[in-house]
Structure 1
Amino acid sequence: MLTRLLFIAALSLQLLSAHCQSTDRYTIIPRPAQLEPRVGEFIVSQHTTVMVPFAQADLKAIAESFAQQINHSTGISLMVRNLDKTPQSGQNARANLIQFLPLRDTTMGDEGYHLDVTPQFVTIEAASPKGFFYAVQTLYQLLPPAVLGKERGASSMGSLIVPAPSSLPPVLLIPACRIQDKPRYSYRGMNLDVSRHFFSVAFIKKYLDLMALHKFNNFHWHLTDDQGWRIEIKKYPKLTQIGSRRRETLVGHYDDFDPQVFDGKPYNEFYTQDEIRDVVRYAATKYINVIPEIELPGHALAALASYPELACTTGPYQVATKWGVFDDVFCPTEKTFTFLQDVLTEVMELFPSKYIHIGGDECPKTVWHKSVFCQQLMKREKLKNENQLQSYIITRIDKFVTSKGRRIIGWDEILQGGLSPNATVMSWRGINGGIEAAKQHHDVIMTPGQFCYLNFYQGDIAQEPTAFGGSLPIAKVYSYDPTPANLSPTEAVYILGAQGNVWTEYIATPDQAEYMIWPRAAAMAEVVWTPLALKNYDDFARRLPTHFERLSNLNVNYARTFYDALPAAKPTPDGRVEVTLSPSNLSPEIHYTLDGSIPSGESPRYENPFMLARSTKVRIATFQNGKPLSQLAKIDKEYLVSKATGKSYTLLNAPIGSRPDRNYSLTDGTTGGIGGYEIAGVVAFKNDLNAVIDLGKPELVESVRIGFLKYTAKNICLPKQVEISISEDGKIFKPALTARTNAAESGKRAVVRLPFDFTATTARYIRIIARNVGRVPAGLRYPGKPAQLGVDEIEVR
C-alpha cells in the first residue's frame, strides 16, 4: 500500500511536470474539424479498461486491435470488456475507462466521430464502425509516438510517457480535449503503380496501415501497363506467363544515356488471385476500399505480347523494357471486347469495389488511323474521328461494368470524343478535365500532377534520388484545394475528393517508395480530410516533427527534405561569391563544411552569409541539439570563383527565351544541375555562343573553362569548335586559341567542363565563340535534328 501511495505521489508530480513542459499536446494529422483543448490528462495504465459492446463485432475488433497495439508496444495490459453486460460507469468519478458508445447523431455521417478525453474517461462515439476506426487513429496520435512501434522498447516513448518505478508497469498520458470530426471529402485516395516496379504483399499491407493512420479510404492499385501485367487471370494464363515478364529494364532516367542503357536482368513478378484476395481482406479491416486498374485501350503492350491477336497488326510484341507511351494499343474487335469483359469479370470477382478503374489515358491513335478494320468500324458506327472511336470503346466497357452493378473510373482523356454516361473522371493533366466533367455533372476525383504526383522531386535535384521530373515540395502538396474556385455550388458537389499518385518508373525498392511517399502523403491526407478554413501550413509544419517520430516507430523511410536548408549564392563586386543559407523555422541549426566532409554537429555553424574567395564545394545539413534533422549531404554544391565571377558580359547571339543579353547567369559562380527532365542554371542557344566578358580592368589570363551541357536525348550537343580571343579595348581582338571538340560525344548526360589553356597574356575583354554543331550527329538518338547549345558557368583564370 505504501509503495502504491508513493508511486501515485511521484506520478502526480511527473504529470504536472509533463503538462507544464508540453508545448505541442495536439499533433494530429490530418487536423480534426473541431478540437477543443482542455486542462489535464487521462492516464492509461494497468488499471484502464476498454469497454465496447461485444454484440457489435466490428467495434469489438477495433477495440481489441487498439488494446493489442498498446499492450504490445508498451507492456501495459489493457483489458477489453463487454459494455453490454457492464453497468455504465459514467457516474463513477474514480473510473479509468476508454469506452466505445454508439452514436445516434447521423449528421456526422459514416466516417465522423466524437472523441471526449477527461481525466476519468476517454469516450468514443460514432454512428458506424468507420467512425470508430478513425477515432482510434486520432487516439493513437494523442498518445506518445512509441505506441505505434512494433516492439516494446523499440524507441523512446517520448515526453508524454511517465516512467514508473521499476516494480510497476509504465503509464501513458492522453491530453484532455473534445474532438468532433468528419472528413471534408468522401474520396481520399492513394495510388501505387506496381506494373513498372513490383511491390510485395507485405509492403502493400504496410502501405495500407499507413494510409489508415492518415484516414485515407481508397487504395488505387495500378496493376497492368506496358511494362508488366501483375494480376493472375485464370482464363488467360499467358498474361502472367508472358505479360508479367520483361527481359530487362532501362538503367537510370529515360534521358540519362544516349544510346539508352539496359540492365540485362529479366523482371518477372505478379500477384496470384489468392494474394489479391488477401490484400482486399486486409484492406477491409482498415476500412480501405481497393480499386483495381486494368489499362485500356492504351498501355497494353504486356497484354499484346501475351495475346497478339488483340492488336490491329500481327506484331510481334514484347513487354516494354523502358518507360513512355507506345503506339501499339488494343484493337476494338469483338475478340478484344470478349477478352476485356472476361478479364474484368474475374477482376470484379476479386474486388468488391464499387469502382473499377479502366485507365483510358495516353492512347495514341496512330495504329487505329492506319487500320482498315478501325476505319470501317468508324464508318459503320458513324464515328467522326479516332477520339470518338476511343469513346466508343470506353462506352462499351462502361455499359458492361455498369451491368455488373459497378462503375468505371477513367483518366481525363476519356473526355475526348464524348464522356461515357456513367464514368467518373480522374483529372491528372491539370484541373481542366475535372472542371469539364463536373460541369457535365459527372463525378470527379482530382489528382493533377503539379500537386499530387509523388514521383516528382521534393528537394534539391542534386541531392535527391532519381525521380520522374518536376518539383513538388511538401508545402506545394499542402497548398492544393481540390475544389476549383470557378465551379458553382451545384457543380462543386461532383468533386468527390483527391488522390496522391505514386508512379514507379524510377522507384524500384520499398525504401525508395516510402521516401517518395512520406511525409508528402501526410500533407495530402490533410488536403482531403481537414476543412479548408482550418488548413494552415505553419500549423501543419509544427505538427510534423512529432509525426516523424510516429513514422520512425513504424519503421518508415520517410524523406527529411522538410528540414533542408536552401542555399542561395550571388557574386559580389570584388569577385567573390556570397552564400546564404535559409533554414526552416523548425531546423534552426545549420552546419556546413567547405572541405568536402560530411557536416556534423561539430562543423561550423551557420550564423550569417559567408564569402567564398576560391572555388569551393559546400555541404550543408541541419541539426537540433547536435542531432541531424535533414539528410546528411551526399553531393557537394559547387561554387566557382574566377576572374570572371560577377563580371558583366554581352551576348552577341540571343539565347533561347527572354533572357537579357547582359546578365550574370553565366558568371555568377553557381553551377547548373540536371534531374529528371529538369535543367537548372543553363543558358541555351539555337545557334553559336558569342559572348564578350568584361573583366573590368586588364588582368593576366591564361585559361578559360566553360561548362557545356551534353544532353543529346534532347538534341543539346557539345560544340564542334571553341574560339577564344582577347582584347584590351573591346574593339580589336587577337586570337588566343582555337580548339576542336567532340560534338558527337555520347554517353551519360552531364554538364561537361572543358578547359581551354593558352599563353599567358594581359587582357580586359575575353571573347568566346562556341560553334553549334548545327545538326545532331549520326549515332545519337535523333540524328539530323537541329542541335542546340547549352552553356553553364564560364571561368577565366
Structure 2
Amino acid sequence: MKVRMGMALVLAAMAFAGIANAAEQTESRLTPVIPLPATVVPGEGAFRFDARTRIVARGEEAARVGRDLADRIGRSRGFVPALARRGGDNAVTLVLDPRAPLAGDEAYTLEIMPRGAEVRARASAGLFYGAVTLWQLATADGAQGTATIAAQRIEDAPRFAWRGLMLDVARHFRSVDEVKALIDQMALHKLNTLHWHLADDQGWRIEIPRYPRLTEVGGCRIPAGAAGRNADGTPRPYCGFYTQAQIRDVVAYAAQRHVAVVPEIDLPAHAQAAIAAYPQLGVTGQAPPVSPDWGVHTWLFNVDDGTISFLQNVLDDVMTLFPSRYIHLGGDESVKDQWEQSPAVQARLRALGLKDEKQLQSWFMGRLGQYLQAHGRHMVGWDEILEGGPPADATVMSWRGTQGAIEAARAGHDVVLAPAPDLYFDHVQSDLGDETPGRLGVIDLKSVYAFEPVPRELTAAQQVHVLGAQANLWTEHLRTNERVQRAAFPRAAALAEVTWTPAPRRDWNSFLQRLAPMRARWLAADFHAADSAFAVRIAPAPAPSGSASVILSNQTGFGTIRYTTDGTPPTPQSPAYAGPLQLPVAEQLLTANAFAGDRALAAPRALRLDTRSLRARDSQSLRSCKGGLTLRMEDDAPRDGPRALMTADVFDPCWIYEQADLDGVRRLSVRVGQLPFNFQLWRDVKQVVTRTASQPGGALEVRVDGCAGRVVATLPLAPARASDALSVLDAPLAAMTGRHDLCFVFASGAADPLWAIDEVALLP
C-alpha cells in the first residue's frame, strides 16, 4: 500500500511529540501555523528547504518579500537562501499576479511540493502573508539547518479586514524599538492594525511643532507615591514623546509589514495633559497637572471655536504623519460635570439648539469628524459616540461589551469589536503568584480563543458592518516592555486565529498543539510572551506524619507535567506527574514544568517545601472580601530591580485567608506595603471604604470566622510608616484548632496610602 510521504512525516512527528490520538491532530502537525489557514489539502512527499534553496522573485515588491523571508530563514535556520530571478527545482517562487482568482489583497495560495514551493497572491500583502506561513512551516521543529516540510496546498484568506491590537503609550511610554518589536509579532500572526493611543490625561506623546507645550509640558508627569520622588525627595518626572521623524519611521516600518497604524487623539475627555499644556483649551481656564492618577477624570476640552481650530491644526499634523484611512478620536468616558457647570458652555449649547450635553458631545465630535472626512479620512470613536447621535460616517469601536456594536451595526455603522473585559489585555491572564500586574478577573487564553466577533443578535445584512476585532493593551499597570509583551501574547495569537480563520475551522486543542512551536519562535526572537497557560501550579497542603500532599496542574491541562525534587530543572526524562505527590517537609525544592514531547511549554516553577510554604499565602492567593475594583499592583518603592506585586480591592482593601488550618499556629507574620491611592473614581468614590484608626498610625486587624468575627490579632502600622519599602508585621495568635476563615483589614483612617498585603504566614 502506497503511503504518502507528507502524512508519514506527520505521524512520525506526532509519535515523537507523544500525541495519543494521531488522527485528531493530523492537521495541527501537518500545518503548525498560527493562524490556521482557511483550507489545507495534504500532498505527497516533502520539500527539503536547505542552504541550496533559491528564492525566486520577479519585481521589486516580490523581491522585498523574498529578502524578508531570506532574512527570517537566516535567523531561524542558520542559512540565508540566495535570491534569484529564474526558477527550477529546489526553489521557493514568489508570484505577484494581479489577475489571480483570490478573495482579496490579503489572500494567497501556497503550494508545497517535493521539488519546491510557490506562493501566489494578487497583492503584496497576500504575498507577505504566504511567505510568513512558509516561514512558520520551515521553523516548526525549532532546529537549525535543513527544514523538511510536508507537501500540501494551502488556500488562505482572512475572515475579517480589521485584526488589531491597541497600544496605550500615554500611561506608560514605549520606545520606537519596542513598538517595532510588537509590530513584528503582529505581522507574523497576520494582525494588520495597530491602534496607537497617543494622548490621554497622563501624557501627550506626539510632537506637534506648532504647539510645543503639548510635549514639553503634557509629555511629563510626576508619578504618585514613591516612584515620583528621588532619594533626596525632589520630584522625579516621567517623560516621553515621539518626534515626527520617529513616527514616520514607525509608520513606514509597519507599512512594510502590512500593518496599518491608526492614531488616536482622545477627546473631548481624557484631555488633562493637553489642558495642562494649554489651559485655554479647558473649561475652567485653570491649568491642572498632567495626571499621575488612573481612572475617570473630569477635565474636558471646551467647545469654543478656538479650541476646535486648535484640534483641527493638531489633526492636520496627524493626517500628514499617518496615511491610515482611519483616525480615532476617542469619545469615551466624557464626564460632563465641567460642561454642566460652565455658563459659557451652557450658552453655547443653547445657541446651537441642542437638548443636552450628550448632543453637545455629538456636535463636537461631528465637527472634527467632518474635518477628517473633508480630508479623505474616516473617524473612529468609542461606543459612547452613539449616545448623542454619531456622525453619519463614523466607525464605532465597541468597548462596553458588545451592545454598542449591535446598536451601531443596526444603524448602518461599521463596527470593530473591542469589548471589556473579553479583549482587554490589561486583565491578568492567570491567578498564579508570578502573574504580571493588571486588572482582575482573569481573562485567560481559552476565553480569548472562544470570543466570537459577530454578535448573534445581528441579521446577515447587519453582520457585513462588522469589520473585525481588536484587543486593547491599556498600560496603567504595564510599566515595562516585558509586561506589555507578556500581556499581549499568546492571547494576541488566539485573537489572530479568531479574526483570520473561518469559525468552523477553529479548534482549541489544535491551537494548543501549534502554540508549542510558536513559543520557541518567541524565545528565539527574545520576545517575552507569557507562559501562564502552561505554567505549573504547585499546590501543597499539610499531610500526616510531617509530609505534604502536593497537587500539580496547569491552566489548560495541556502537556505532560514532569517534576524534580533535587533542585534541578525538569527535563523530558524527569518523572511524569500522575497524581498528588506525598513528599516529606524537609526543605526540599520541588520544581515542575509541562512538556509536549521534548519541548518545555513554560519556564519551570518551583516551591521550597517547608513549614512556612505550607501555611503562607500571597495576596493573589487570598480572596478579596467584596471583589469590587480588584487590581494586581506593584510596590513602587524600589527604584531599580524587582518589585513586589500585591492584589487589592481599591474600593475596599480586605482579604480572606480561607479555611486556614490553625492547629499548632501560635504566630502571625504579615508582609505589607503602602501604595499610592492614585485613582480618579468620579462618582464611584463613594464606594471607597475607610476604617477609623483604632490607634495612632493605624493597625492591621485580623478577625476569625469572617469579617464580622472577633478580633484575634492587631498589628500596629506605625513602624511600617517609617519606610516606603515593604514591612513585616508580627503578632502572637491565641491558640485555636481546626480550620477557620481569617479576615484582614487595615484600620488606617484614610484611603491614601492604600495599605496592601503581600504575604500572610501562619507560623508555629
Aligned to 1:395, which of 334, 349, 366?
366
C-alpha displacement at 1:373, in angstroms? 0.9
User: Given residue 80 of structure 1, which amino acid in structure 2 is its aligned partner?
Assistant: L
For 1:517 and 1:638, the matched residues in 2 are separated by 36
SS at match of 1:220: strand
More off after superposition, 710-719 vs 295-304: 710-719
User: Given residue 136 of structure 2, which amino acid in structure 1 is its aligned partner?
Assistant: Q
Give TM-score scaled by structure 2 length.
0.79
Aligned in 2, Cα 1:490/1:355: closer, same or farther, shift over 3 Å? same
Residue of structure 2 equivalent to 1:343: 314
Aligned in 2, Cα 1:352/1:614: closer, same or farther, shift over 3 Å? same
Work out whether 1:424 is the aligned partner of 2:427. Answer: no
Residue of structure 1 equivalent to 2:189: 214
Q: Structure 2 stretches of 5 or more lacking a match?
A: 15-28, 616-624, 628-644, 678-687, 705-709
Give TM-score scaled by structure 1 length.
0.76
Deviations 1:244-275 (A, max 9, x none): 122335568x9xxxxxx999422222111111
Deviations 1:681-726 (A, max 9, x none): 97679xxx9x9x999xxx9x89475989999965365995999999
User: Given residue 63 of structure 1, which amino acid in structure 2 is its aligned partner?
Assistant: G
Residue of structure 1 equivalent to 2:62: 59
Are 1:718 and 1:772, in contact at CA under 8 Å, matched by a contact in 2? Answer: no
Are 2:73 and 2:135, in contact at CA under 8 Å, matched by a contact in 1? Answer: no
Residue of structure 1 equivalent to 2:636: none
Deviations 1:172-200 (A, max 9, x none): 32321000000000111111111122222
* Greater radius of gyration (CA): 1
SS at match of 1:543: helix
Aligned in 2, Cα 1:222/1:793: closer, same or farther, shift over 3 Å? closer
For 1:314 and 1:197, the matched residues in 2 are separated by 27
Deviations 1:272-317 (A, max 9, x none): 1111111111211111111111111111111111111111113222
For 1:796 and 1:453, the matched residues in 2 are separated by 39
Are 2:661 and 2:740, in contact at CA under 8 Å, matched by a contact in 1? Answer: no
For 1:15 and 1:723, the matched residues in 2 are separated by 66
Aligned to 2:134, which of 128, 134, 139?
139
Work out whether 1:124 is the aligned partner of 2:95. Answer: no
Aligned residues: 694
C-alpha displacement at 1:410, in angstroms? 0.8
For 2:242 and 2:613, the matched residues in 1 are separated by 56
Aligned to 2:689, which of 715, 724, 739?
715
Counterparts of 1:770-789 in structure 2, within 5 Å, are 778-781=749-752
C-alpha displacement at 1:59, in angstroms? 2.2
Are 1:719 and 1:742, in contact at CA under 8 Å, matched by a contact in 2? Answer: no
Work out whether 1:406 is the aligned partner of 2:377. Answer: yes
Work out whether 1:80 is the aligned partner of 2:83. Answer: yes
Aligned to 1:301, which of 255, 272, 290?
272
SS at match of 2:261: strand
User: Given residue 132 of structure 1, which amino acid in structure 2 is its aligned partner?
Assistant: L
C-alpha displacement at 1:508, in angstroms? 2.6
SS at match of 2:421: helix
User: Given residue 488 of structure 1, which amino acid in structure 2 is its aligned partner?
Assistant: T
Residue of structure 1 equivalent to 2:199: 224
Aligned to 2:579, which of 594, 601, 608?
608
Are 2:667 and 2:763, in contact at CA under 8 Å, matched by a contact in 1? Answer: yes
For 1:716 and 1:212, the matched residues in 2 are separated by 48
For 2:219 and 2:171, the matched residues in 1 are separated by 10
SS at match of 1:561: coil
For 1:518 and 1:768, the matched residues in 2 are separated by 37
Residue of structure 2 equivalent to 1:173: 148
C-alpha displacement at 1:434, in angstroms? 1.3
Are 1:567 and 1:579, in contact at CA under 8 Å, matched by a contact in 2? Answer: yes
Residue of structure 2 equivalent to 1:248: 223
Aligned to 1:365, which of 332, 336, 350?
336
User: Given residue 240 of structure 1, which amino acid in structure 2 is its aligned partner?
Assistant: T
Residue of structure 1 equivalent to 2:180: 205
User: Given residue 230 of structure 1, which amino acid in structure 2 is its aligned partner?
Assistant: R
User: Given residue 33 of structure 1, which amino acid in structure 2 is its aligned partner?
Assistant: A
Aligned to 2:143, which of 139, 147, 157?
157
Deviations 1:411-448 (A, max 9, x none): 11212222221111111121111111111111111111
Are 1:723 and 1:768, in contact at CA under 8 Å, matched by a contact in 2? Answer: no
For 1:112 and 1:302, the matched residues in 2 are separated by 42
Residue of structure 2 equivalent to 1:49: 54
Counterparts of 1:677-696 in structure 2, within 5 Å, are 677=649
User: Given residue 715 of structure 1, which amino acid in structure 2 is its aligned partner?
Assistant: V
Work out whether 1:460 is the aligned partner of 2:431. Answer: yes
SS at match of 2:533: helix
Deviations 1:63-83 (A, max 9, x none): 233234435655645343336
Aligned to 1:38, which of 40, 43, 55?
43
Aligned Cα RMSD in Å? 4.6
Aligned in 2, Cα 1:21/1:642: closer, same or farther, shift over 3 Å? closer
Are 2:62 and 2:94, in contact at CA under 8 Å, matched by a contact in 1? Answer: no
For 1:638 and 1:603, the matched residues in 2 are separated by 23
Are 1:250 and 1:262, in contact at CA under 8 Å, matched by a contact in 2? Answer: no
Aligned to 1:113, which of 96, 108, 116?
108
Residue of structure 1 equivalent to 2:563: 591
Residue of structure 2 equivalent to 1:277: 248
For 1:454 and 1:694, the matched residues in 2 are separated by 36
Are 2:539 and 2:552, in contact at CA under 8 Å, matched by a contact in 1? Answer: yes
For 1:263 and 1:516, the matched residues in 2 are separated by 33
More off after superposition, 490-499 vs 73-82: 73-82
SS at match of 1:540: helix
